[in-house]
Structure 1
Amino acid sequence: MEESRPERLRCLSVCAGAGGLALGLEQAGFDPVLLLDNRAVACETLRLNRPAWNVLELDLLRFDPVDHQVTYDVDLLAAGLPRVKASAAVARENSTEEIRVLEATIMLMHGVQPRALLIENVPDLVSKPAYEQIRASVATELAHLGYQHRWFVLNAKDHGVPQDRKQGILVAFKEASLGGFVPPAPGTEPPITVGQALGASMAARGWPHAAAWAAQADQVAPTLVGGSWNRGGADLGPTGSKASWARMRVNGGTVADEPPGPEFPWDLSLGVKGMVALTVEQAARLQGFPEDWVFAGRKTARYRQVGHASPPPVGRALGQAVRAALGRRA
């Protein structure tokens, strides 16, 4: 007798960005009925990679499910939200807006009534005292709607991503499904290093030092940071991250147009000029995106999408855990 295929579930993806979380959920068996993002370049990326996906360019604060009834009663509402910063913890012009987006996602539960909720954000949101008021507000609203919830933190390096990237996760379920939810367990294999992930691409244009570089790049990457959409160029993050990259002989102050060629020196006496720089595509590999996933826009916009994305392998692991809690075979 022919084995039955796993059931495909339905999800609504908001703040979808470049599609990292949606791609991972797709691999776990969730098909999006709608993907929402407020950036044209991110929506273009989604359409380039999945022409059949229903992509809507709209600010979440203006989204009304009444106008999109396909979103009603989906199995999962998934959100890779902008990085929330508690106003008590940091003074930053965008912090209030980011908290409003989180609140809007929770309020969206009223209209959509999904069987499960999955939100990915900064790890501090889970446990730091400065975020207690936010957590309490979320808990009150979810309980009012009849959902049980759980916060936890996981690290992408434990799930096949060559990057030390801690992520704060909120899951919520209707009825008693939360009791069947088990957070993804770390893999048994050692984390993938930067050299293992990027060695072949560094050699792609004939750079003779690629193997030596890969051998010494024997750690996972520090957290990739997308940076502000409103200012600055593409680089690999703040000063501490750049120092970590420098120890792996990577110039973290820029993003390259292509991998190094035969003429590129690997001369540490030159400082950062003697270090390799990563391309957007290489940064995407460090986020766990497949090689055939393309990013729309110019270099800085493409890198911003990569740096802000949720790693697809983490989305897949989370999706599989949600499926199991919903009683669906993966």
Structure 2
Amino acid sequence: MGASVGSGGPLTSVEICAGAGGQAIGLHDAGFKHKALLEIDPDAVATLRKNADQLDMDEEWILEEDLKKFVNGGVCTRLNIKRGELDLLAGGVPCPPFSIAGKQLGEEDDRDLFPAMLDLVDELFPRAVMIENVRGLLGSPKFSAYRTSILKRLSAQYHVAAVEGDISRTWRIMEAKDFGVPQLRPRAILVAIRKDLVERGHSFIWPVYRIKDGNRGVYDALFDSMKDRCYKHGKEGKRVFREWVKKAGSEANRHAVAPTLVGGSKKHGGADLGPTRAKRAWAELGIDAMGVANDPDDGKCDPERDLFREAGPMLTVKQAAIIQGFPDSWEFSGRKTARYRQVGNAFPPPVAEAVGRAIRAALRPEQQDEVLRNYVMEDSLPAEELPDIQLDMFDSTGFEAVPA
């Protein structure tokens, strides 16, 4: 391959719609230095600032901003970045315009931030672009023209990574469970590398799955925290724990992963773990999904409400974060429902890390063996072993769709 990019220092990134930091954690772990994180929700911004030291960044570059207004304000100057010097622009643009669980208004939805994201690409002209969204963006034919318009605008100056070399499949459906996350959570990912780099031999290869810690189930993920919660409440707590182990740790469920966590929106009630089908799946794992428990550290834990329930204990926000792939050290700000929504709407850090490492390998090919050693990449598998994920395979909860 050609000469690597920016080999004298860390790769740099700017992230929009950063939420509670799932993508930021993953990209940091992949070796990127965040120049700035942009987010509009004040609770999520407070979460990012609380954990800024874990991202090795200064709080002043965690910006509470409306992206549409921010793009119109001279971005390069505000971020102190010269056009063309940034390595990666990343963003999980809001999913409601495309979510199967919503009205699917797409570009007619005022929450659609794809135009602002593409304006930011034009202004910053980064070496690579990564965009994440729900798979609903791909699953509906009604968004075909919109997907084409995004691709057309990007492809003027970028090579958009195709799946299995098929240019008609430029969005990759990635399942969190393939990267050590105990949850289904299919997400749509697009990666683009600047054409001048591709012409110099920098090519992006999709990660297929993670070798280390693969196939981690809910039982293994929650065992320690569930035992700790229950054992604080004497005999009854130990009984609850044994019942949970009997269900979640059974031969049938021992390696089962959770349905997709649903964060919801501020317009709709309190927190729970998703629609009816998801609640049934949680019940099979010994979890009551009708609400979210108070974290013991809050001093508000009511064992009768949170643990001693007929259907099993409810999850705490911290446990939901484990299911989402957050590190134990990550702290969330805001009231319980606000914290849960931050978790439920997040991009799982291990998935972001996998894509981030693949981008890093494209920009710095001399580091490829080092940064990808725990992953199986698309170019290393024969066609018959590649995942065959159809766009309409999953329903809104992340379950495989049941044919009518």
What's the TM-score once normalised by structure 1's chain length? Answer: 0.88
Map 1:14-25 → 2, pairs under 5 A = 14-25=16-27
CA distance in 2, matches of 1:287, 1:186: 17
Residue by residue over 1:244-286, the C-alpha shift from the partner in whole angstroms, topping out at 9 and shown as x without a partner, is 111212111100013689889988xxxx644210000000000
Match of 2:80 in 1: 70
Aligned partners of 1:10 and 1:33 also within 8 Å:
yes
Give the counterpart letter for 1:159 in structure 2.
F
Give the counterpart letter for 1:138 in structure 2.
I
Identity %: 40
Match of 1:58 in 2: 65
Deviation at 1:302, TM superposition (A): 0.2
Q: 1:228 aligns with which of 265, 274, 284?
A: 265
Instruction: Note if 1:184 corresponds to 2:215.
Output: no
Unmatched tracts of structure 1, length 5 or more: none
Give the counterpart letter for 2:206 in structure 1.
P
Q: How many residues align?
A: 322
Match of 1:282 in 2: 319
- Cα RMSD (Å) of the superposition? 2.8
Residue by residue over 1:289-317, the C-alpha shift from the partner in whole angstroms, topping out at 9 and shown as x without a partner, is 01110000000000000000001111111
- Go from structure 1 to structure 2 and tell me whether the alpha carbon gap of 1:7 and 1:132 turns closer, same or farther (over 3 Å shift): same
Match of 2:127 in 1: 115
Residue by residue over 1:164-188, the C-alpha shift from the partner in whole angstroms, topping out at 9 and shown as x without a partner, is 1101001111025396211112134
Give the counterpart letter for 1:161 in structure 2.
V
CA distance in 1, matches of 2:98, 2:19: 22
Instruction: Note if 1:312 corresponds to 2:349.
Output: yes
CA distance in 2, matches of 1:265, 1:136: 47
Q: 1:213 aligns with which of 214, 239, 244?
A: 244
Residue by residue over 1:124-175, the C-alpha shift from the partner in whole angstroms, topping out at 9 and shown as x without a partner, is 3235422211211101111223443431111000001010110100111102
Map 1:71-86 → 2, pairs under 5 A = 71=81, 72=83, 73-86=85-98
Match of 1:151 in 2: 171
- Go from structure 1 to structure 2 and tell me whether the alpha carbon gap of 1:265 and 1:92 turns closer, same or farther (over 3 Å shift): closer
Q: 1:171 aligns with which of 178, 183, 191?
A: 191
Match of 2:115 in 1: 103
Give the counterpart letter for 2:181 in structure 1.
V
Aligned partners of 1:160 and 1:313 also within 8 Å:
yes
CA distance in 1, matches of 2:110, 2:351: 22
Residue by residue over 1:17-40, the C-alpha shift from the partner in whole angstroms, topping out at 9 and shown as x without a partner, is 000001100000101101001111
SS in 2 for 1:301: helix
SS in 1 for 2:221: helix
Aligned partners of 1:79 and 1:120 also within 8 Å:
yes
CA distance in 2, matches of 1:129, 1:165: 21
CA distance in 2, matches of 1:274, 1:148: 47
What's the TM-score once normalised by structure 2's chain length? Answer: 0.73
Instruction: Note if 1:41 corresponds to 2:64.
Output: no
Instruction: Note if 1:239 corresponds to 2:239.
Output: no
SS in 2 for 1:63: helix
CA distance in 1, matches of 2:246, 2:43: 36
Instruction: Note if 1:203 corresponds to 2:203.
Output: no
SS in 2 for 1:120: strand
Unmatched tracts of structure 2, length 5 or more: 1-6, 162-169, 232-236, 372-404
